[in-house]
A = this chain, B = another copy of it.
Amino acid sequence: MEQAAPSESAGAIAVRDENGAIAAPFLAAVSGAVARDDAGELRALCLERHEADIADLVEQLEPDERPKFIQLLGEDFDYAVLTEVEDTIREQILEALPSAAVAEGVRDLESDDAVYILEDLEEDEQQEILAQIPDFERALLKRSLDYPEDSAGRRMQTDLIAVPPFWNVGRTIDYMRDSDDLPDEFYEIIVVDPSFKPIGKVALNTLLRTKRPVLIETIMDAPVHTVRADLDQEEAAHLFERYNLVSAAVVDDHERLVGVLMFDDIVDVIQEEAEEDIRGLAGVGDEEISDTFLYTARSRFTWLLLNLVTAVLASLVIGMFDATLQQMVALAILMPIVASMGGNAGTQTMTVAVRALASRELGGYNIRRFVTREMLVGIVNGFLFAIIIGFVASVWFTNIQLGAVIATAMIVNMFCAGLFGIAIPVGLDKIGVDPAIASTVFLTTVTDVVGFFAFLGLATILLM
């Protein structure tokens, strides 16, 4: 035979190139198979691939190829893939697919993956899909979906193994061998009392290393870290990080076990939360790189508008000194330096404060220490840059008084930058506003206004 069977040659194509991106030949082969409606070739290409690889592939396909790709694979498409693609892409795909196909695909998933896919759908679409899922599974999914958005209840897995403390190791192992409804991956079993409250946990490696007749209660770790189902996922992530947990029991209002949170879902949460802070500080919302330009432009507009207000405010301050500026154009040339240095110094302090607040490093005790330090940093760097810029300005415009004025304004503004760089995020945090999202605008306003006012005000008094 001249030509290898398609399944063999197809399976041999590398999924990723040396940079870890989806390899061009693989993408081209998949696109081609989709265009030719060649389900056999597509199966040969994509079966046995990891869901994360298929997810990255789906993201690289053209928008109209994606639902076609999934329908061609049919039953062989693992809907867990959809938990790994960007939100916007997932929503587009789910809208394009018939709800019966989605219901069928979602049924096979672990409960946390199913909830992840269903939670962002429109209410009626969600209901339509849920209606096609058998009663028992639907009840579990609905319970998860009833918990607030971004709560532990939404992220938990409801398939779990719970045993009473009076069982022995042998009985526990036999029970696990006989159950066929076990989660695919788990690392600990939870020990519960008769009212189904978690009272301990046993790591699988402990179970494996213990003789069969030993009682569970003698080997269990107690007390166990539990997470309330309505707890925010970010709080749950802090618990995982702090105690290096691989999983945690999720309990309802009555402290009864309802699910398990797994470390891999929490890794995503940690990633998302850090991401939110970065984006918040820069004024970008939860946009994704696959979003359209109109959506992106609109989502960034508000932030820019706020900044325009800030900038106009700063201009009004400058306008107060128009007579001074008219007499001495050097002031107009130098004034952006004072404002800009204040902005940068303030951003440094603010960024450290925002992250320390987010990671709970900044609490009651050390806040005074931190404020003192930032004040001192502001003063030290303020003086250093005052000397530098004072010298530069004096030489540039051969005017020592002008040098003295800009130096003084620099000290004032960098001190204020340190003060407000910490006061703004801490204050916002106290009143329950996310400091990452709102701090930058306030801070820029302060450093611009103070910068221009101090410099032009001092110049008016001392040089006119």
Contacts and interface: CB of A to CB of B under 8 A. Distances in A.
A452 to B, nearest CB: 8
B293 A380 contact: yes
Contact of A337 (B182, B312, B364): B312
A315 interface: yes
Contact of A311 (B297, B340, B363): B340
A322 B314 CA distance: 21
A389 B333 contact: no
A240 interface: yes
Contacts of A274: 270-271, 274-275, 278
Interface in A306-337: 307-308, 310-312, 314-315, 318-319, 322, 325-326, 329-330, 332-337
Given A241-B267, A282-B351, A389-B308, A361 B322 contact: no
Contacts of A271: 241, 270, 274, 359
B332 A325 contact: yes
Contacts of A301: 381, 384
A147 interface: no
A284 B351 contact: yes
A157 to B, nearest CB: 13
Contacts of A279: 351-352, 355
Interface stretch (A98-106, A118-126, A136-144, A199-207): A199-207
Given A19-B363, A240-B267, A448 B336 contact: yes
A246 interface: yes
Number of copies: 2
A304 B341 contact: yes
Contacts of A318: 332-333, 336
A254 interface: no
B21 A289 contact: no
A187 B204 contact: yes
A401 B362 CA distance: 51
A194 interface: no
A379 to B, nearest CB: 9
Interface string A280-292: 0111100101111
Contacts of A398: none
Contact of A336 (B207, B209, B311, B322): B311
Given A363-B21, A373-B293, A381-B300, A278 B336 contact: no
A176 interface: yes
Given A355-B275, A385-B304, A315 B297 contact: no
Contacts of A97: none
Nearest to A179: B209
A185 B209 CA distance: 12
28 contacts: A20-B238, A20-B360, A52-B242, A52-B244, A60-B365, A185-B205, A185-B246, A204-B204, A204-B205, A240-B267, A244-B267, A263-B263, A267-B270, A279-B351, A282-B347, A283-B347, A283-B348, A289-B361, A292-B373, A293-B374, A293-B376, A297-B380, A303-B348, A308-B337, A308-B388, A314-B336, A325-B329, A332-B335
Given A176-B208, A293-B376, A311-B341, 9 more contacts: A21-B365, A185-B205, A187-B205, A278-B281, A279-B351, A289-B356, A308-B388, A315-B333, A329-B332
In the A-B complex, the 6 residue pairs with the smallest Cβ-Cβ separation, listed nearest first, are: A274-B274, A282-B351, A332-B332, A293-B376, A21-B363, A204-B204
